[in-house]
Amino acid sequence: MNAAVPLKLMIVDDSNVMRRKIERSHQCARLQFVGSAGNGKQAVELFRRTEPDVVTMDITMPEMDGIECVEQLVGIKPEVLILIVSALADKATAIEAMKRGANGFLCKPFTDRQLTDALDELLRGAG
Amino acid sequence: MTRVELETFVEGTTHYFLTAANQAASVGSPYLVNEGIPGIQEYTGIITVAGKRKGIVYFTASRPMLTVLLMRLGETEMTHENMCDLVGEVANQISGNARRDFGNEFMISVPRVIAGTPDGAVTPANTRSFVIPINWRSHSASLVVCLD
What local confidence, expressed as pLDDT, does residue B118 receive?
Answer: 87
**Mutant choice from A88, A96, A107, A111 vs B, greatest count of B C-beta within 10 A:** A88
DSSP chain B: --HHHHHHHHHHHHHHHHHHSSS--EE---EE--SS-----SEEEEEEEEETS-EEEEEEE-HHHHHHHHHHTT-----HHHHHHHHHHHHHHHHHHTHHHH-TTEEEPPPEEEESS-SS-SSPTTS--EEEEEEETTEEEEEEEEE-
Tens digits of per-residue pLDDT, A53-112? 999 999 999 999 999 999 999 999 999 999 999 999 999 999 999 999 999 999 999 999
Residues of chain B with pLDDT under 50: none
Nearest 10 degrees: Cα torsion A57, A58, A60, A61: -70
Which chain B residues are within 8 Å of A24, Cβ to Cβ? 74
Q: How far is A3 from chain B (nearest CA, A)?
A: 29
- Predicted complex ipTM: 0.93
Q: What is the pLDDT of residues A94-109, one digit of tens each?
A: 999 999 999 999 999 9
Q: How confident is the model at residue A125 (pLDDT cuts 50, 70, 90)?
A: confident
Those of residues 63-82 in A touching chain B at CB distance below 8 A are none
> pTM for the full model?
0.94
Say whether B74 and A111 touch across the interface (CB within 8 A): no
Check whether A41 has a pLDDT greater than 70.
yes
Are A62 and B110 in contact, with CB atoms under 8 Å apart? yes
What was the pLDDT predicted at A2?
60
Tally C-beta pairs within 8 A across A and B. 71
pLDDT number for residue A127: 61
* H or E element at residue A7: strand A7-12
A108 touches chain B (CB under 8 A): yes
Put simply, the answer to whether A17 touches B93 (Cβ < 8 Å) is no
B95 touches B13 (CB < 8 A): no
Task: Give the pLDDT confidence score for residue A3 in this predicted structure.
Answer: 61
Across the interface, do B110 and A61 touch by the CB < 8 Å criterion? yes
pLDDT tens column, B5-14: 999 999 999 9
A86 at the B interface (CB within 8 A)?
yes
pLDDT at B16: 98
Residue B119's pLDDT is: 84
Rounded to whole angstroms, the Cα distance separating A32 from A7 reads 6
Phi, psi of A63 (to 5 degrees): 70, -70
Burial class (CB in 10 A: 0-12, 13-18, 19+), A75: exposed
Name the DSSP letter for residue A56. Answer: E
Q: What residues in A contact B70, CB-CB < 8 Å?
A: 17
Q: A13-25, pLDDT tens digit by residue?
A: 999 999 999 999 8
Q: What residues of B are in contact with residue A21 (Cβ under 8 Å)?
A: 73-75
Give me the residues of B, 41-100, that contact A with CB < 8 A: 70, 73-75, 81-82, 85-86, 88-89, 92-100
pLDDT on residue A26: 79
pLDDT at B36: 77
Q: Which of B85, B84, B90 shows the shortest CA–CA distance to B16?
A: B90
